[in-house]
Structure 1
Amino acid sequence: MMNDERKIDLRVDVPPGRLQRRTTSGAGGWYVVLVVLQLLSVIGVAVLLLDDGEIGKPVAEPGRPVSKLRTLALELENKSLELAAARTWEQYLERFPGAADQAEILYRVGRLYMQSEEFERAAATFVRCEQAGPDDELKSRIGQNLVTCLRRLGRYGEVGRELSRRVETGGADVKRGRVLATLAGEELTEADLDRMVERRVDQMLSLQGGHGATMRQSLLQRFSSPEMRQQIFQELLQAQLFTRRARELKLDSKEGFLQARAALEENLLASQFQAHELDKVQPTDVDIEAYYAAGPDRYREPEAMRVVVITLSQDEQPQSLLADVKSSEDFKRLAAQRSSHPGGDAAPATEALTIVRGQDHFELGKTDSLFELETGEWNREPHTNGERRFVVLADDRTAARTPPLSEIRTRVESDYTSRKQQELSRKIFEELMDRYDVRIVSLPGTAGNEDTDPDDSLDGKQGESSNADQ
């Protein structure tokens, strides 16, 4: 909604003079009064007959200053009465057609009609707004919303396509990139695909509570590969076709669709609010350094070792296999020969792996015993994991270490931000519980007591929660 920056101060003065005259003569004076009253009655009936008869349309009081109409329209907006607010703004413009901010008000009315899902009225209002001579910035916004209205109305003909080309691209001189496809005469271009990629990334960040230019840029880079762009293009084309057919079938007016959209809107609004509030967490260099210094051990990296593994077949014995192996280089050559052996099952897999002390390996299982090997040494007895058996060479190892902050700064910043956002989320939740006077009577899955007073139940739950937090 645009800001109400310019205030119009118009006064409708009462015409000078008296509206009726005193008379001392009985019959003649009363006759004039009766004639005037009859004329006023006829005028009133005519006004009612000419009125459009729309239910709920705010009616301006005779003689009400236009400034009060403006105040009324703003008050209706604040109370989320979009349709009534739009009609009041229209009355304001009828009373004051020369308003300096006429284009801005018409854009406001169009947006209010869109929020009320009166897309045909909104489209007509945006056309009026274009004719009111808006500036370039407002003209761009008008065009985007007008195209949205036409699409919501299922108007995919030539008018919609021309409006889309004229408005969304800013004119014929703007290059839209290579044409990827045409849909009923409307072009889908590289620029359309780029916008869809950006919307996809922004939606992912919104739903996942992500934020920050770095994360957004990383996701955009992931979606820039030719394979991903081809996949998104197929989705774009499919979405366009499915959406058009669905609107033709009036599926967007079905009760199931409306309910699902309402539920999605609530979840999306909650996610948007959370992202908006959590975005306030912006760590400084001092915050990051203090967080790292308070617990560097949490970033300590355990000892790791790179090993070369030969998988033994069922009856194969390591002594006979390794009879000619005298050094680690001999072991690696044997492993390489078995890896390239064409005999299929006769030559089980051989590979180089990295194992970490204290962590199970997905293939080797528990690996602590392997860390007893010296570098360049291999085990003489098979290492087992279930029914599988291995011969393992300790090829290289990395000692346990705590990396300096400069090496893991991004990770530390992410951990700090995540922790502060969790704290902020809990604080916001508690504040909103108080703001909206939430009283928990009983929790689902617990035995309820019908005689329990709601306030007592709430106090008990809060006490339990406090103990748990402590």
Structure 2
Amino acid sequence: MGRFSAMNYELKRRTSLNPNDSTATGGIVAEIGPTMITRADLDNMIEAEVEMQLSQLAGSLSPEQFREQKKRLLDDIFKKGQRSEWLQRLIAEELLYRRAREEKMQDREDVKALLDSIDRKILAEKYLDSEYQKRIHIVPDDLKGYYEAHKDDFRKDGKVRPFDEVKDEVYRIVRSNREKEVQQAVMNELMDRYDVVIHQDALGTGAGTSSNIEGSAPMGPRSNIKKNSGGGTGLSAHTSSSAATNAGKNK
């Protein structure tokens, strides 16, 4: 704990952003050897991270809600002076990442297995997301139609709530249903393509006969988004491992 506390203190000292400093208006906010990070770079990294984390909730948010959430979260970060915290975490991760590569940790068998597992999950999730984009098109009439057919599901205190009051909830339900349909269709197509058969009797399930697997979504990486006490969405100040190198500018 002592070493990490000391590292955090040193990073905070070196990366503290002074509002009166000319660099705080768009100049260089940090340097890692020959790599320079400007405030614009940092803001772009933060925005990209917010978008990535919000994408985990994309299925439950309409495009308008997604934009509103993104704006609110970025406003919170920038107005509350949290750039220094994000910069410190970015640099800490980048330094640890660089040192790990120098130590050839990426060549260790346990690390390679972990990276392969993460790679598989991310690619599977991204492929399914791309199929959602191609196959799911929700228009206002879809929401109205679902609402009219399921009005009893939207009762409160014995009264049906008006559509405008529940349209976000309706969107989430319709979106979820469409995603399940796409998952099933995609899994059926891929099972045919790759000739998949599951032998249930060999699994000890008692089924006794072989059967094709049912469609299901791949298990993607855990989201960094968490619900806060106010019911909103909170983000962790987390950045991709090579963000500083990719976004930085060489002297």
Query: TM-score if structure 1 supplies the norm length?
Result: 0.35
Aligned to 2:64: 214
Residue 300 (1) aligns with residue 155 (2): yes
Aligned to 1:67: none
The answer to whether the Cα contact below 8 Å between 1:196 and 1:236 also exists between their aligned partners in 2 is: no
How far 1:207 sits from its partner (Å)? 4.8
Structure 1 runs, 4 residues or longer, greater than 6 Å off = none
Provide the rounded CA distance (Å) in 1 between the counterparts of 2:182 and 2:205.
32
How far 1:240 sits from its partner (Å)? 1.5
Provide the rounded CA distance (Å) in 2 between the counterparts of 1:268 and 1:249.
26
Residue 203 (1) aligns with residue 52 (2): yes
How far 1:209 sits from its partner (Å)? 5.9
Cα 1:207–1:407 shift into 2, 3 Å: closer
Aligned to 2:90: 236
Match of 1:291 among 146, 153, 157: 146
Query: Any stretches of 5+ residues in structure 2 without a counterpart?
Result: 1-24, 215-251
Provide the rounded CA distance (Å) in 2 between the counterparts of 1:443 and 1:239.
47
How far 1:409 sits from its partner (Å)? 1.9
How far 1:216 sits from its partner (Å)? 3.7
Residue 431 (1) aligns with residue 183 (2): no
Provide the rounded CA distance (Å) in 1 between the counterparts of 2:206 and 2:172.
42
Percent identity between the two aligned chains: 26
The answer to whether the Cα contact below 8 Å between 1:179 and 1:188 also exists between their aligned partners in 2 is: yes
Residue type matched to 1:432 in 2? L
How far 1:263 sits from its partner (Å)? 1.1
Provide the rounded CA distance (Å) in 1 between the counterparts of 2:74 and 2:203.
44
Residue 412 of structure 1 aligns to a residue in which SS?
helix
The answer to whether the Cα contact below 8 Å between 1:209 and 1:275 also exists between their aligned partners in 2 is: no
Provide the rounded CA distance (Å) in 2 between the counterparts of 1:422 and 1:447.
25
Provide the rounded CA distance (Å) in 1 between the counterparts of 2:50 and 2:92.
19
The answer to whether the Cα contact below 8 Å between 1:206 and 1:272 also exists between their aligned partners in 2 is: no
Aligned to 1:276: 130
Q: How many residues align?
A: 184
Aligned to 1:360: none
Provide the rounded CA distance (Å) in 2 between the counterparts of 1:203 and 1:277.
18
Structure with more contact order per residue of length (Cα contacts < 8 Å, sep ≥ 6): 2
Provide the rounded CA distance (Å) in 1 between the counterparts of 2:205 and 2:180.
30
Provide the rounded CA distance (Å) in 2 between the counterparts of 1:186 and 1:212.
38
Q: CA RMSD in A?
A: 2.9
Query: TM-score if structure 2 supplies the norm length?
Result: 0.62
Residue type matched to 1:293 in 2? E
**Larger radius of gyration, structure 1 or 2?**
1
Residue 210 of structure 2 aligns to a residue in which SS?
helix
Match of 1:184 among 15, 24, 33: 33
Aligned to 1:391: none
Provide the rounded CA distance (Å) in 2 between the counterparts of 1:269 and 1:421.
17
The answer to whether the Cα contact below 8 Å between 2:54 and 2:66 also exists between their aligned partners in 1 is: yes
Aligned to 2:221: none
Residue type matched to 1:294 in 2? A
Residue type matched to 1:423 in 2? E
How far 1:439 sits from its partner (Å)? 0.9
Residue 265 (1) aligns with residue 119 (2): yes
Cα 1:444–1:202 shift into 2, 3 Å: farther
Cα 1:205–1:291 shift into 2, 3 Å: same
Residue type matched to 1:193 in 2? L
Aligned pairs for 1:319-334 (under 5 A) are none
The answer to whether the Cα contact below 8 Å between 1:178 and 1:189 also exists between their aligned partners in 2 is: yes
The answer to whether the Cα contact below 8 Å between 1:207 and 1:268 also exists between their aligned partners in 2 is: no
How far 1:295 sits from its partner (Å)? 0.6
How far 1:418 sits from its partner (Å)? 1.3
Aligned to 2:238: none
Residue 408 (1) aligns with residue 160 (2): no
Provide the rounded CA distance (Å) in 2 between the counterparts of 1:191 and 1:212.
28
How far 1:274 sits from its partner (Å)? 1.1
Provide the rounded CA distance (Å) in 2 between the counterparts of 1:407 and 1:447.
46
The answer to whether the Cα contact below 8 Å between 2:26 and 2:38 also exists between their aligned partners in 1 is: yes
How far 1:283 sits from its partner (Å)? 1.1
Cα 1:270–1:435 shift into 2, 3 Å: same
Residue type matched to 1:269 in 2? L
Provide the rounded CA distance (Å) in 2 between the counterparts of 1:240 and 1:440.
43
The answer to whether the Cα contact below 8 Å between 1:292 and 1:405 also exists between their aligned partners in 2 is: yes
Aligned to 1:122: none
Provide the rounded CA distance (Å) in 2 between the counterparts of 1:233 and 1:429.
41
How far 1:430 sits from its partner (Å)? 1.8
Residue 187 of structure 1 aligns to a residue in which SS?
strand
The answer to whether the Cα contact below 8 Å between 2:31 and 2:37 also exists between their aligned partners in 1 is: yes
Residue 283 of structure 1 aligns to a residue in which SS?
coil
Q: Deviations over 1:245-276 (max 9, x none)?
A: 12222222333322222111110011101111
Aligned to 1:306: none
Residue type matched to 1:418 in 2? S
Residue type matched to 1:219 in 2? K
